[in-house]
Structure 1
Amino acid sequence: MDVLSSRVLLHPADNEVTTAFYRDTLGLAVYREFPGGTVFFAGGGFVEVVGSGGERGGNAALWLQVRDLAATVAELREKGVEPENGPRREPWGLDEASVSDPDGVRIVLVEVPEGHPLRVDVRSG
């Protein structure tokens, strides 16, 4: 399998409410819009809010790496979003906090601290 691109597809209970959350509350930039859906930039990938997942919405989780976790959490709190847990240093060494979108999709916000193995260039020579 040769993967050229990828995105996470979310099928929310209310497309307009979830689109507004990702656009206005999280502040993700719109990549493109089409009838019934919106695709957002999310770092090196995309998040697409499309269609409807019924009353409860679909089940998924997002992992979003941020530059400054404390500043991100403070910004979300100003917009009325309280973290469900964190921010804190997890046993695996990442600084994390999590929030949920209007359908209960868990969004893990991650800052990779200095010295963490994810910051090491593993390419040879």
Structure 2
Amino acid sequence: MEVLSSRILIRPTDPDASTAFYRDVLGLAIYRTFPGGTVFFLGQGLLEVSARGDGTASPNVAVWMQVRDLAAAVEELAGAGVTPERGPQLEPWGLREAWIRDPDGLPIVLVEVPEDHPIRTDVRDQRH
């Protein structure tokens, strides 16, 4: 299978409220709109808010968003009225995380990768 593109689809109970949350509160840039939906840039992926769902957020699904500065992101969100479900903390696996929820309760994990974390380690030969 050759995957050319991908995106996460969410079906909110109130598409207008969810679109406003992702656009205005989280500040995600719009990739494209179409009748009945909006597709947002989500770092290296895309997030589509379209149609209408029953509002049941699955406990098995979360959106993972890496941010440059977790404390600044949480402060910015607080200014927009978003209270973290779990404030910034260093996890046992070495990432700094905070958790928020979208209007339908979908968990969103905000992640900062510390400079010394293996994900950020540059394994290239540093000799020139």
Please confirm whether the aligned pair reaches a TM-score higher than 0.5, indicating the same fold.
Answer: yes
Structure 1 residues 34-58: Cα deviation after superposition (integer angstroms, max 9, x where no partner): 001000001010110010112x245
**Residue in structure 1 matched with residue 86 of structure 2 by the alignment:** 85
- The code of the aligned residue for 2:6 comes to S
Give the count of matched residue pairs: 123
**Residue in structure 1 matched with residue 39 of structure 2 by the alignment:** 39
1:109 has 2:116 as partner:
no
Distance in 2 of aligned mates of 1:19 and 1:57: 17
Distance in 2 of aligned mates of 1:9 and 1:16: 15
8 Å contact kept, 1:8–1:48: yes
- The code of the aligned residue for 2:7 comes to R
Greater gyration radius: 2
**Residue in structure 2 matched with residue 25 of structure 1 by the alignment:** 25
Distance in 2 of aligned mates of 1:122 and 1:11: 40
Where structure 2 has 5 or more consecutive residues not aligned to the other structure, the ranges are none
8 Å contact kept, 1:73–1:83: yes
**Residue in structure 1 matched with residue 8 of structure 2 by the alignment:** 8
1:52 has 2:52 as partner:
yes
Q: How far off its partner does 1:71 sit? A: 0.3
**Residue in structure 1 matched with residue 62 of structure 2 by the alignment:** 61
- The code of the aligned residue for 1:118 comes to I
**Residue in structure 2 matched with residue 119 of structure 1 by the alignment:** 120
Q: Which moved more, 1:57-66 or 1:112-121?
A: 57-66
TM-score between the two structures when normalised by the length of structure 2: 0.90
- The code of the aligned residue for 1:24 comes to D
Distance in 2 of aligned mates of 1:34 and 1:4: 20
Distance in 1 of aligned mates of 2:20 and 2:67: 20
Where structure 1 has 5 or more consecutive residues not aligned to the other structure, the ranges are none
